[in-house]
Structures are given as structure tokens and as C-alpha cells.
């Protein structure tokens, strides 16, 4: 088993060790006799850093980037390295360097999780069943089986956030203790892990939280900086609560503020007026859309009347063939309907070139043709897709090229 130095000191960023074994796989890896590198486990993600050789004059030098650290089943800590291994072999003396900024971030997030989980238990008796740390946010899953409070509401989230930040501001001591399982059972831990190990590592946030954990934590709660609760969502067992702590909270607040500032500038408003301005704009869009629909309806009706007036009757019916541009499918469809309903003997073959090339074929009830079939034949020439009934059919073409010729051919087939 690798001796885990971080168990006793989370702020140990540099250490000496000896290579125990070298794993030459696709990704080269080494096992050390002792390490301060934290392997991914218990919801916390691994450290990164460097392995340095050549500090002793008798050994050749090298600097290897540690890209991942994992826990093997036998309890060994495996360090995955970026560069091909040279001069690293069992017995080589090395120096380990932890990426301190990344470790500090992990300590802030993980310690915040302890405080937050304890806050939810104290305030609402909602235990944490799992913890997840991603690159830019963290989350805990709260188990909610109390039927009196089936949902997690905004006030509860804010109360837990307030209590957690008070505990952070009080700068309470965070101590590491090792006890036997029997001792731990008497101490009333927030969470007792399944019976595996004889000895347990406890994280004791003075007079607030006591739990078993193998992760890296701050020494005093003030080092967490602060915690900010974000999204909550219903999950199978209860609720998932996203949070950010320390520098992550600052980075997130910075990003939120920039986004809000950019949005406010679009409205020429202050940031706190954005919801009101957005609501106003949406109402305006809704009302304008209604006006537009009404205007279009009137325009189409007038256009239909004009087209019918200027189209001569031929073989007892009127054939209207027309290509538009800058009109959408809905417009030509509406026009086709108006044309074929205003008179009992009309066939309309309409197309639009833009914004999206489309065709609508329609005939008045009682006319003998099959618009669905005719449209399919026409679209086949254009490489488009569509269909419909005998009376009305619509479809789209990939480009406007050949649209007019195809329309003319369709009209021709009707005996124009």
C-alpha cells in the first residue's frame, strides 16, 4: 500500500519518494512508496503536478508531468505521466510537486461540501447521499424522504447557503482524527462508511460536523472563502444542488456579471432591470406577431382577388402559376387556400424562392387532378421532399434553381 501523505497534511505540495514500480502501458505510470498526490475517489477529482528526478548528483535528471492519479484495487496509488519514461525505475529517488492551485481549489470545494451537507442535515434533516466534483462546479444529492417537505424550495436553499457561509466566516478549525470503527460508532458521525476498514479517518469541523472522509480539506473554514448555491434539480432520490466555493465562486460570479452586463447593454438598461426589459420585449414581439399575421391575412386576401381577376378562364377553370421571393411557405400556402376557396374552379401552382425554396399546389374541391402526385413528380426533378392530399400539397426544394422551369412543366401537364 502506498503511504498517503495527504492523509495527514493537505497543504503538503512537495515531497520526496522512491519509485516502487513502473507500469509500461499505453500511458506510462509509476507507483511510489509514498505520495502526496490525491487519486480520484470519494467524489473528489485527482491532483496533477510533476515528478522530478536528478536531485541527487548520481542520478540523471528529468521532469515528468503527472496528468492523472488513480487508486488501484490493491490500495496502490498510480501516477500517470505524460512523457515516455526515461531513467525512472524501481528505486529511483524522485521529488513530487503537486499543482498547488488545483489542489487549493479542490480543498475549497470539498470542504465546502462538508459544511453544506451538515447545514442541510441541521436545518432540514436532508442527508447527502453523493457528491460530485466537475471542472467548473460541484453538486451534492440530497435525500428527501420526509413527506412533510417533499420538495426543496428556494427559501431552504438560501437558508442552507447562509448557515454554511456563517460557519465559513467563523473560521472554525478543521481537524483530522484517526479512530477505530467502534470509537467512530460512538461519536455520532454524520455519515458512517460501510464496514471495510478497521481504522477510520475523520474530518472534524469544530462543533459543527464530524464525518469519515479520505479527501483533502482546508485547516480552517475561513480558507473556503465562501460558498454559493446555484441550480437545484429533482433527481430520483431527492434533489441535486449545484454549488461553487472559493475562487470558483468568484469566477462564476464574474462570468454571471459579464453575461448580465452584456444583456443589459442590449436593452440600454441597468442589470437589475433586465428581467423587466426582457418581459416588455417579449410582450412587444407577441403583439407585433399578431399584427403581422392580421396584416398578412388581409394582404393575401387582396392578392388572391387580384390574381383571380387578372387570370383568364380557360377550359372552364382558372390556372394561377406564380413564383415569389422573400415569402415563406406559410404565405404561399395561405394564398393557395384563399385562391382555391374563393372560387370553385381554381388550380394554384405556387412557389417561393426565398427565404427557403418551397412549393404549394392546390385545387378547388371537385377539380379532377391529384395535387399530391403532381407535387411529388415536380419535387423529384428538384431533389426536394413533400406531399399532401389531392386538394392541397406542399414541399421544399434544396435550392431555387430550376424552380420556375419545374413549375412551368407542372402547369403544362395540366394542359395549359
Residues in 356-415 that interact with Zn ion by CB under 5 A: none
CB 20 within 8 A of CB 51: no
In this structure, what C-alpha cell is assigned to residue 14? 512537495
- What's the closest the beta carbon of residue 119 comes to Zn ion, in angstroms? 15
**Cβ neighbour number for residue 376 with a 10 Å cutoff:** 18
Q: Of 140 and 351, which has the nearer Cβ to Zn ion?
A: 140
Q: Of 6 and 80, which has the nearer Cβ to Zn ion?
A: 6
- What's the closest the beta carbon of residue 235 comes to Zn ion, in angstroms? 21
- What's the closest the beta carbon of residue 110 comes to Zn ion, in angstroms? 5
- What's the closest the beta carbon of residue 245 comes to Zn ion, in angstroms? 13
Separation CA 107–CA 247 (nearest Å)? 11
- What's the closest the beta carbon of residue 254 comes to Zn ion, in angstroms? 27
Q: What angle do CA 319, 324, 325 make, to 5 degrees?
A: 170
Write the DSSP assignment of 147-199 as a string of letters.
TTS-S--HHHHHHHHHHHHHHHHTT-BEEEEEEEHHHHHHHT-S-PPPS--SE
Q: Of 118 and 348, which has the nearer Cβ to Zn ion?
A: 118
Separation CA 163–CA 182 (nearest Å)? 31
Listed residue (174, 197, 177) closest to 187, CA to CA: 177
Q: Of 107 and 358, which has the nearer Cβ to Zn ion?
A: 107
Helix axes 329-342, 274-310, angle to 10 degrees: 40
Q: Bridge partners of 352?
A: 324, 358
CB 355 within 8 A of CB 394: no
Q: Is residue 140 part of the contact set for Zn ion (CB under 5 A)?
A: no
Q: Of 23 and 202, which has the nearer Cβ to Zn ion?
A: 202
Q: Of 97 and 204, which has the nearer Cβ to Zn ion?
A: 204
Q: Which residue is nearest to Zn ion (CB)?
A: 213
Q: Of 193 and 396, which has the nearer Cβ to Zn ion?
A: 193
Q: Of 78 and 112, which has the nearer Cβ to Zn ion?
A: 112
Listed residue (329, 384, 385) closest to 362, CA to CA: 329
Q: Of 118 and 334, which has the nearer Cβ to Zn ion?
A: 118
- What's the closest the beta carbon of residue 253 comes to Zn ion, in angstroms? 24
Q: Specify the stretch interacting with Zn ion by CB under 5 A; choose among 69-77, 81-89, 208-216, 346-354.
A: 208-216
CB 240 within 8 A of CB 232: yes
Separation CA 370–CA 315 (nearest Å)? 18
Q: Specify the stretch interacting with Zn ion by CB under 5 A; choose among 72-80, 214-222, 248-256, 311-319.
A: 214-222
100 to 139: interface string for Zn ion, x by CB under 5 A:
----------x-----------------------------
- What's the closest the beta carbon of residue 74 comes to Zn ion, in angstroms? 23
Q: Specify the stretch interacting with Zn ion by CB under 5 A; choose among 128-136, 207-215, 349-357, 392-400.
A: 207-215
Q: Is residue 213 part of the contact set for Zn ion (CB under 5 A)?
A: yes
- What's the closest the beta carbon of residue 225 comes to Zn ion, in angstroms? 17
- What's the closest the beta carbon of residue 174 comes to Zn ion, in angstroms? 10
Q: Is residue 96 part of the contact set for Zn ion (CB under 5 A)?
A: no
| Site size toward Zn ion, by CB under 5 A | 3
Q: Of 110 and 376, which has the nearer Cβ to Zn ion?
A: 110
- What's the closest the beta carbon of residue 355 comes to Zn ion, in angstroms? 56
Q: Which positions ≥6 away from 339 have C-beta within 8 Å? A: 304, 307, 308, 320, 346, 348, 362
CB 255 within 8 A of CB 136: no
CB 412 within 8 A of CB 378: no
Find the helix or strand (DSSP H, E) in which 378 lies: helix 371-382
Find the helix or strand (DSSP H, E) in which 380 lies: helix 371-382
Task: Please list, residue by residue across 86-98, b when 16 or more beta carbons sit within 10 angstroms of its beta carbon and e when fewer do.
Answer: eebeeebebbbbb
Pick from 28, 96, 215, 226 the residue near Zn ion by CB under 5 A: 215
Applying CB under 5 A, the residues found at the interface with Zn ion are: 110, 213, 215
Amino acid at each position: 500500500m502506498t503511504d498517503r501523505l495527504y492523509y495527514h497534511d493537505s497543504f503538503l505540495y512537495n515531497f520526496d519518494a522512491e519509485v516502487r514500480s513502473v507500469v509500461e502501458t499505453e500511458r506510462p505510470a509509476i507507483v511510489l512508496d509514498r505520495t502526496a498526490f490525491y487519486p480520484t475517489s470519494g467524489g473528489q477529482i485527482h491532483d496533477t503536478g510533476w515528478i522530478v528526478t536528478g536531485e541527487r548528483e548520481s542520478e540523471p535528471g528529468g521532469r515528468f508531468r503527472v496528468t492523472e492519479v488513480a487508486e488501484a484495487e490493491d490500495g496502490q496509488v498510480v501516477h500517470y505521466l505524460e512523457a515516455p519514461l526515461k531513467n525512472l525505475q524501481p528505486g529511483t529517488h524522485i521529488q513530487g510537486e503537486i499543482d498547488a492551485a488545483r489542489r487549493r481549489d479542490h480543498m475549497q470545494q470539498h470542504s465546502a461540501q462538508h459544511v453544506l451537507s451538515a447545514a442541510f442535515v441541521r436545518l432540514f434533516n436532508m442527508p447527502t447521499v453523493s457528491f460530485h466534483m466537475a471542472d467548473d462546479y460541484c453538486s451534492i444529492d440530497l435525500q428527501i424522504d420526509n413527506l412533510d417537505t417533499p420538495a426543496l424550495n428556494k427559501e431552504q436553499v438560501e437558508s442552507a447557503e447562509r448557515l454554511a457561509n456563517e460557519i465559513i466566516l467563523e473560521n472554525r478549525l478543521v481537524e483530522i482524527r484517526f479512530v477505530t470503527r467502534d470509537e467512530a460508532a460512538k461519536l455520532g458521525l454524520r455519515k458512517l462508511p460501510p464496514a471495510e476498514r478497521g481504522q477510520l479517518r475523520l474530518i472534524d469541523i469544530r462543533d459543527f460536523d464530524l464525518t469519515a472522509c479520505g479527501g483533502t480539506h482546508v485547516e480552517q473554514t475561513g480558507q473556503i472563502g465562501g460558498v454559493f448555491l446555484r441550480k437545484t434539480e429533482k433527481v430520483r432520490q431527492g434533489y441535486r444542488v449545484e454549488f461553487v466555493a472559493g475562487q470558483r465562486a468568484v469566477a462564476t460570479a464574474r462570468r454571471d456579471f459579464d453575461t448580465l452586463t452584456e444583456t443589459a447593454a442590449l436593452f440600454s438598461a441597468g442589470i437589475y432591470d433586465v428581467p423587466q426589459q426582457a418581459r416588455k420585449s417579449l410582450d412587444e414581439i407577441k403583439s407585433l406577431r399578431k399584427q403581422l399575421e392580421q396584416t398578412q391575412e388581409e394582404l393575401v386576401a387582396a392578392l388572391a382577388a387580384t390574381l383571380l381577376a387578372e387570370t383568364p378562364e380557360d377550359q372552364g377553370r382558372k390556372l394561377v402559376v406564380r413564383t415569389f421571393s422573400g415569402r415563406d411557405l406559410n404565405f404561399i400556402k395561405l394564398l393557395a387556400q384563399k385562391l382555391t376557396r374563393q372560387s370553385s374552379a381554381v388550380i394554384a401552382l405556387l412557389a417561393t424562392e426565398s427565404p427557403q425554396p418551397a412549393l404549394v399546389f392546390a385545387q378547388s374541391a371537385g377539380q379532377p387532378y391529384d395535387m399530391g402526385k403532381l407535387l411529388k413528380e415536380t419535387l423529384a426533378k428538384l431533389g426536394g421532399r413533400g406531399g399532401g392530399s389531392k386538394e392541397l400539397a406542399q414541399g421544399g426544394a434544396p435550392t431555387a434553381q430550376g424552380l420556375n422551369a419545374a413549375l412551368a412543366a407542372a402547369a403544362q401537364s395540366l394542359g395549359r
